[in-house]
Amino acid sequence: MPPQPPEATAQDATRKHLLETAGEVFAEVGFRAATVREICLRAEANIAAVNYHFGDKERLYTAVLQDTCRVALETYPPNLGLAAKATPEQRLSAFVRSFLLRIFSEGPAARHGKLMAREMIEPTGALDDLVRENVQPMAAMLKSIVRSLVGPGASEETLRLCAMSVVSQVLFYHHCRPVVRRLYPDLKFGSVELEQLAEHITQFSLAAIKQLGKARKKRGGK
């Protein structure tokens, strides 16, 4: 590839800096309270730069959600790099562990979790694209893991309920952290604690899912 002209490189750098700065602002105050003026002020960019690179605040926010999701998934992919021959138990463990790491980590990889927490309270139009492009594939992955564990012939409802129960355990510790901290002031969410929590959620979920599979067999697979 021929080298890019200096002006193109500068424009790419400005766009990237706006994305990073906007991610900080949106994570701090949410989409509705954030202003283009504040974002450009922090980024030390001309206020017209947002319109030039993204069009408006809504499209900037959509780009931020997509970019932070990409960073989070690249840093902690749902399969954590497991080999294709990994067992369903290993795949579930990786899914749970990567999920916890994405929402509890610090730095750029954690920004997406903060933005998504705000989206749960005040959803925006950007959530539709994010669910379709990123969340649905991960949901399908988790459902396939559950299907392997509970056995063939499980209903879609059973797969959905099991998958959502796994996700709910992870999200509880993030979304309910203010209450959890008041109930258990000494509880921490450092790397060691997250590994222990990932192991607990995995084993708890495996026991429940496999028990459902046994119950189905007793009922003749119904």
Q: What CATH number is given to the structural domain containing 34?
A: 1.10.10.60
Residue 176 DSSP label: T
Does any domain span residue 61? no
Q: Retrieve residue 178's tokens.
A: 């203010």
Does any domain span residue 140? yes
Residues 30 and 129 in one domain: no
Residues 137 and 40 in one domain: no
Residues 116 and 150 in one domain: yes
Residues 46 and 87 in one domain: no
Domain that holds residue 2: 1-55
Distance CA 93, CA 20 (A): 31
pTM, to two decimals: 0.86
What domain count does the chain have?
A: 2
Query: Virtual CA dihedral for 7, 23, 68, 72, nearest 10 degrees?
Result: 120
Print pLDDT tens along the chain (222 aa).
Answer: 455 555 557 788 889 999 999 999 999 999 999 999 999 999 999 889 999 999 999 999 999 999 999 999 999 999 999 998 999 999 999 999 999 999 888 777 778 888 988 898 889 999 999 999 999 999 999 999 999 999 888 899 999 999 999 999 999 998 898 999 999 999 988 899 999 999 999 999 999 998 887 877 777 655
Determine whether 152 is exposed, middle or buried from the number of CB atoms within 10 Å of its CB (0-12, 13-18, 19+): exposed
Within 10 Å of residue 52's Cβ, how many Cβ atoms? 13
Residues 123 and 33 in one domain: no
Does any domain span residue 67? no
Distance CA 161, CA 59 (A): 34
**SS3 string of 59-107?**
HHHHHHHHHHHHHHHHHCCCCCCCCCCCCHHHHHHHHHHHHHHHHHCCC
Distance CA 145, CA 139 (A): 10
Does any domain span residue 103? yes
